[in-house]
Chains A and B, each alone.
Chain A
Amino acid sequence: MKARVTVTLKTGILDPQGKAIEGALRSLGVAGVSSVRQGKVFDIEIESSDPAKAEALLKQAADRLLANTVIENYKVEVVG
């Protein structure tokens, strides 16, 4: 089973890397970008074929390692 965990910075947490990317887009002339926040995507293969089990496992993975919940939010998706 394929799954995806997306980790993003919480609102209000300063993201210097996102800011730098935002500036670089501006200097490239990519107009109309008002803000960039950088995050992480984890594509994960799961042994189980039970979506509920898969989701529980992904949440555990995100809580215990993939995200630092002090500064980050995460979203888990079972892609199928």
Chain B
Amino acid sequence: MKAAVVVFPGINRERDMARTLKLTSGHEPTMVWHADTELPAGTDLVVIPGGFSYGDYLRCGAIAARSPIMDAVRAFAGNGGLTLGVCNGFQILCEAGLLPGVLMRNARLKFICRNVYLRVEQSGSPFTRGYNAGQVIRVPVAHGEGNYIADADTIKRIENEGRVLFRYASPEGNLDAAWNFNGAINAIAGIVNEARNVLGMMPHPENHVEAALGVTDGRGLFAGLAEALERAA
């Protein structure tokens, strides 16, 4: 794995992400500054971490999505390169047009920082091959704008194409409005693009990979990615 973690002013979860990538793949990722125009040669995974790029000014992720490095990310993703956006990273990928839809203010208007349960909807993607479909994982969220929405046609399309990889669910894996804490349509927590090489998700799997924290449910995503990349190499 030769991962690049893109860093924008105001991003604050890049070190958690880099630590997780190192722990799960054995390889140190490269940090790439937003003003750069190229990804390091040989990059096989681009990660856009969470935080508050540009202080969430204008709209979450809007200004970061127009940074110089994003043209390189767009080209990389367009060539099938694996791209992961977490939290603000998901918002940035939507604003950059790499994923459809938008993340609105949470339905109950509160910033929510807690553990949630996600039902893994598909295991046949490089991002979820480390899980079984239907499996429930526990990972933290920390966001004020995670309420996913898109127009009705887009929602229909991404549902029909099986592009929802994670949904907010109860600990038993049931879909229930009480567990869809941010009000996202169809309880959507993470989606992939049409070519299935770009994933955006609001929860933070990178924060649940170490036994010392009591939960390692996020490990499957990164271990699966590392394995997929090793096989491809």
State the A residues within 8 Å of B (CB): 13-14, 16-17, 20, 64-66, 68, 70-71
Contact = CB atoms under 8 A, between A and B. Distances in A.
Contacts, number: 36
A54 to B, nearest CB: 21
Contact of A66 (B58, B104, B105, B107): B58
Given A66-B58, A68-B59, A70-B150, A16 B105 contact: yes
B151 A70 contact: yes
Contacts of B63: 65
B15 interface: no
10 contacts: A13-B104, A13-B149, A14-B107, A14-B149, A16-B105, A65-B62, A65-B66, A66-B58, A68-B62, A68-B95
Nearest to B110: A16
B59 A14 contact: no
A16 B95 contact: no
Contacts of B106: 16
B102 interface: yes
Nearest to B101: A70
B151 A20 contact: no
Contact of B105 (A17, A64, A65, A68): A17
B92 to A, nearest CB: 12
Contact of A20 (B66, B101, B104, B109): B109
A22 to B, nearest CB: 12
A13 B150 CA distance: 9
B104 A14 contact: yes
Interface in B53-73: 58-59, 62-63, 66
Contacts of A70: 100-102, 150-151
B104 A65 contact: no
Nearest to B185: A14
Given A13-B104, A14-B147, 6 more contacts: A13-B149, A14-B183, A16-B107, A16-B108, A16-B109, A70-B100
Nearest to A20: B109
Contact of A16 (B66, B100, B104): B104
A68 B95 CA distance: 8
Which 7 pairs of residues, A with B, have the shortest CB-CB distance?
A: A16-B105, A70-B102, A16-B109, A71-B102, A20-B109, A68-B59, A16-B107
A70 B148 CA distance: 12
A80 to B, nearest CB: 26
A14 B107 CA distance: 9
Given A14-B104, A14-B107, A17-B105, A64 B151 contact: no
B130 to A, nearest CB: 31
B185 to A, nearest CB: 10
